[in-house]
Structure 1
Amino acid sequence: MSMGKKILIIGPSWVGDMVMAQSLFILLKQQDPDNQIDVLAPAWSRPLLARMPQVRQAVDMPVGHGSLMWSARRQIGRALKAEGYDQAILLPNSFKSALIPLFAGIPVRTGWKGEFRYGLVNDIRLLDEARYPLMVQRFDALAYPAGAPLPEKLPVPDLHAEAARVPQLRAQFGLDGTQKILALCPGAEFGPAKRWPERHYAAVAAHKLAQGWQVWLLGSEKDRAVAENIIAALPQAQRQRCHNLAGVTKLEDAIDLLSVCDAVVSNDSGLMHISAALNRPLVVVYGSTSPGFTPPLNEQVAILSIPVDCGPCFQRECPLGHMKCLNDLLPEQVISALEKLVPGHEQAVL
């Protein structure tokens, strides 16, 4: 009888990447339900990991992903040694991410070659980018022996929201419980070259508000001004049904609120991946990046982009200054995609 393995995952540092990592956690549990999965990751990810039932516990990583801090990593590793992990799976490809599993004395340390990791990673893999074009495939391949084929259909992330919290959150933020909800996620931590113009978001919001919907704008404190500009671009009569929640909700609040939204429009961002993992009808607008590497893993999704000679450039800011890839992606295209995902027309609100 299998007792399962005790596995420490060295998690990624971005929201979207952590969501996609749930596919790996699901695979490990499918291989053996007795596998115990702990995830070493930044403290901000705790609410996200708490909504992944495959994860036994989150272990806070107090060292920033850009810092070496050798002694701190050694101290963390020594503290983890008592857990007796059988295997570590390293999702980042950095030298630094391989130190703690070594210091923890974990016998099998699995990861891609990365930077200067020979010896640190003793189950080392050489990445064939053509074979694994998607990030989720690269994560999931680490659940198998080197060279083993992946399943034809990989598990998709599946966050379990806490529905019981939603009434309290509605009351806390003054949100209506009767109208359909369009969530807008207009921010992108990566940079402005991933952000669809505010005027385009406002046009989509105005269309759904005219159909009797309400609009929730979600994001971090950095996105609050962007959300305010979207609301300010609306007719005065519509603004009371448009709620700026950017910067006032915690990550766990955003997850639980998104779980009850009827549709989501988002840039390529962490909240986009969360919405996909909650299986919300989702329209994603792509600018400087491409869905060819980190697409939303959800069947109820419309991915919109327009071909431009200069893209995808994968730059944080438009090198040419015209943002053609986003400016020319019109609100009518997003509205049309929304209507196909969530059919039906409500009575207009005058």
Structure 2
Amino acid sequence: MKKILVIAPSWIGDAVMSQPLISKIKEAVISCEIDILASSWVQPIYRKIPQVSRVLLNPYLHGQLKLKSRLQFAKSIKNNHYDECYILPNSFKSALIPFFAKIPIRIGYIGECRYPLLTHCKRLNKANTPKLVDQYAHLLKYKSESTPGKLDNPRLAVSKKSKTDIQNQFIKLQRKKIACLCPGAEFGPAKMWPYEKYSELAKQLGSKGYEVFVIGSKNDALIGEKIYFLSNKIAKNLCGKTSLDDAIALLSISDLVVSNDSGLMHVAAALNRPLVAIYGSSSPAFTPPLTDNAMIARLKLPCSPCFQRTCPLEHMECLESLSVDHIYGLVCRQEVNSGT
């Protein structure tokens, strides 16, 4: 049986985008084990991908070189006797462990002068493959320079037990509809719809009979708390109070998700939940929610998308001018489409 290692990206959304690649590898090499080397931050994503055999902990934080430590760590990886490795991040550091572990086939894009560390180098053409999900899929060596064919949308699988556990933990009334709001964005504030607007939306959702939750990381805790109070305590703040595993489980039983362009948006899409995705400085042309169950909220201003972490014009009009009524209208359309 062939043993394959995948070096995972560090962002939640990027990790979700790698699922179709993993699925394609499994299709191409039916008799194989696929292990993932991932940071603790994204490990829960890979535990929800059925094609993955094991999820190994990558102990190195973003930006850490620790050359001697990586050399030692690679010895343990070498003992697993991998036949090939797909290196998804484009950094020099991410290619070191498979190189030190002497994995015979090491596949990745050329970047940061890491050409000598790879055995199969691909040159990234962003004009031809602007979407990250396609960029990952194009690393499939068995297709050489040809395209990997039609990709299925990313999909995550949540167990029935996880759904039941999260329902018992957080849902008070079984008959109530569940709405999750995801107001954060690790990339920066230029992706974040104002929390005041999320608060107003929460009030409207509450009046429609939704039980409303705000979910995100501990970095979103303050925003979540503001939404909680400004919504007259309708939106329950769970930011920083749940693990990513729990957040994924809660999203999986939601009747509606409203989210900025963030990792949790991609998780909701991969769970095929009814979704309203809000775009400011980014563009759905590059990072779309890959599902047929999403509505896009975006103002096509001349300055947008700028792809900046903060608004270079210091006005945030692409998000400030996106009204609560507009988002609520998309919510109502989603309800019609999903029958909720």
TM category, shorter: over 0.9
Displacement, 1:33? 2.2
Partner of 2:147: 149
* Equivalent of residue 256 in structure 1, options 242, 249, 261: 249
After TM superposition, the structure 1 stretch with the greater mean CA deviation from structure 2, 268-277 or 311-320, is 311-320
2:294 maps to which of 296, 301, 304: 301
Identify the match of residue 20 of structure 2 among 9, 16, 23.
23
Aligned length: 339
Give the superposition deviation at 1:345. 12
Q: What is the CA–CA distance in structure 1 between the aligned matches of 2:176 and 2:281, rounded to whole Å?
A: 34
1:247 — aligned with what? 240
Tell me if 1:337 matches 2:336.
no
The corresponding residue for 1:57 is 54
Matched, 1:140 2:137: yes
Q: Counterparts of 2:166 and 2:148 in 1: how far apart (Å)?
A: 40
Q: Are the counterparts in 1 of residues 12 and 41 from structure 2 also a CA contact under 8 Å? A: no
Query: Structure 2 residue aligned with 1:265, among 247, 258, 268?
Result: 258
Counterparts of 1:1-350 in structure 2, within 5 Å, are: 3=1, 5-144=2-141, 145-151=143-149, 153-173=150-170, 175-234=172-231, 236=232, 239=233, 241-343=234-336
Residue type at the aligned position of 1:189: E
CA shift, 1:98, in A, is 0.8
Contact kept? 1:302, 1:337, Cα under 8 Å:
yes
Q: TM-score, length-normalised on structure 2?
A: 0.95
- Structure 1: gaps of 5 or more residues: none
CA distance in 1, matches of 2:337, 2:61: 47
CA, structure 1 residues 45+344, in 2 after alignment: closer, same or farther (shift >3 Å)? closer
The one-letter code of the counterpart of 2:257 is V
Distance 2:338 2:211 in 1: 14
Which one is further off, 278-287 or 175-184? 175-184
The question of whether the paired residues in 1 share the 8 Å contact of 2:36 and 2:55 is answered with yes
Task: Give me the TM-score of the superposition, normalised by structure 1.
Answer: 0.92
Q: 1:169–1:122: structure 2 CA closer, same or farther, 3 Å change rule?
A: same
Report the residue type matching 1:37 in the other structure: I
Cα distance between partner residues in 2 of 1:345 and 1:115: 46
The unaligned stretches of length 5 or more in structure 2 are: none
- Root-mean-square deviation (CA, aligned residues, Å) is 1.8
Task: Between 30-39 and 181-190, report the one with greater CA deviation.
Answer: 30-39
Separation (CA, whole Å) in 1 of partners of 2:148 and 2:78: 31
Q: How far off its partner does 1:174 sit?
A: 5.6
- 2:140 corresponds to which letter in structure 1? A
SS of the aligned residue for 2:226 comes to helix
Q: Distance in 2 between matches of 1:127 and 1:45?
A: 24
Structure 2 CA distance, aligned partners of 1:244 and 1:131? Answer: 41
Q: 1:89, CA displacement in angstroms?
A: 0.6
Looking at structure 2, the residues matched to 283 and 78 of structure 1 have their Cα atoms a distance apart, in angstroms, of: 46
2:171 and 2:321 map into 1 onto residues whose CA distance is 35
**Whole-Å separation in 2 of the counterparts to 1:343 and 1:336:** 11
Matched letter for residue 87 of structure 1: E
Is the 1:27–1:155 Cα contact (8 Å) retained in structure 2?
no
C-alpha spacing 1:277/1:344, structure 2 compared with 1 (3 Å): closer
Percent identical residues: 43
| SS in structure 1 of the partner of residue 155 of structure 2 | coil
Deviations 1:192-229 (A, max 9, x none): 11110112112221222111111111111111211221
Which letter does structure 2 place at the counterpart of 1:246? C
